[in-house]
Amino acid sequence: MRKAKLVVTFALAPSYDVRIGSGVLAQMGANIQQACANAPAGNRVLLLTDDTAAPEAVDTVKTALSQAGFRPAKVSVSPDNALETVGELWAAMAQLGLDSASVLVVMGDAPLLNLAGFAGTAFGGGLRCVYAPTTLAAAVSCAVSDQAVLEVKGANGQVKADIRPLYSCIDLDLFASLSADQWMAGFELVAQAALLDSDDFFFWLSDNASALRNRDEEAVCEALVRTLSFRSSLSAAAEQQGEEAWNVLAYGSEFASAMGASLADGMRFSALLSHFEGLISSDIIDAQDALLTQLGFIQQTKVSNAQIALRSFSLPGGVITLMLPTDIGACRQVLVPAHELLSCLEAF
């Protein structure tokens, strides 16, 4: 069975690994020892989980940590309320007496990974975090991190926490139990990365869409390597250019957020608007539609009242800035006049 290791590199911060494959959870204890020389045997490891972490997988991690000489303590949380969850995590960390030599292992979906990553790095001298995403969407969105900013209003000002993990661990066995909806949720992010990255990735995904839908391990591993390599390049660029390097990931999500639509529908609308603006040919629209259809996304959104949709964008000065494709592997921010956006919405 295929396994892969992706190294996420930075010029001004430590690099880290993303390990992908079946059975990688069972190696977690040894991997933490290798990645973190000053986490001595016998030290505390706080294992955080949510309801997406299968009990068998949690047991595997606890056994792997114990065999490596660590003392794991498990806490299950629901990240529905961000502030309450962070407070619960800090209370648990304090009760266990965790310090900068301790390690936080997070098994769960994206909301828990994001919150726990912040809570761990903002606690005391900062805990090293290991991410073990339990869904395909979390694996794509959280395994490669830039940084999180928590704005605290009042006298405390703004607190920034760098949430780059010690390493990320994507065990493909975790994906076997996902429902069809949970599994498909990750496809949108893979398709977005493929269109933004290159012809090679885009057409590889088109050729392997059926294998990915059927959870073929080789296809899933390759899709993750390609997607995370693309996001890693954005993370490295963000180190030099700031957050604008991540703006390309707004492709499709802006319209989807405003309309309560799926990312796939957002990508469809963005491509249509780009064609409307004369930036891409209809061939690219057709190619993207074909890929999204192969992955199982059928257009759902129908804009019944384009004026309401237009107002949801809150356009200042009659224009809106959207990230639109200019080719496969290329996109840029475009200022779109309100009347042109309205015309495109009516045709969508």
pLDDT value, residue 150: 39
Residue 263's closest CA among 294, 300, 226?
300
pLDDT value, residue 33: 83
pLDDT value, residue 149: 38
Give the C-alpha separation, 266 to 286, whole Å: 15
**DSSP-H helix ranges across the chain:** 28-35, 55-67, 82-95, 110-121, 136-142, 180-197, 199-213, 217-241, 253-259, 263-276, 282-294, 306-311, 338-347
pTM for this one? 0.86
Per-residue pLDDT reduced to its tens digit, 128-156:
889 999 999 999 988 776 544 333 333 34
Question: Residue 176 pLDDT more than 70?
Answer: yes
Question: Residue 107 pLDDT more than 90?
Answer: yes
pLDDT value, residue 311: 60
> Band of the pLDDT at 117, cuts 50, 70, 90?
confident
286: Cβ contacts below 8 Å, ≥ 6 apart = none
Percentage, residues of the chain above pLDDT 90: 41
pLDDT value, residue 155: 38
Give the C-alpha separation, 327 to 198, whole Å: 9
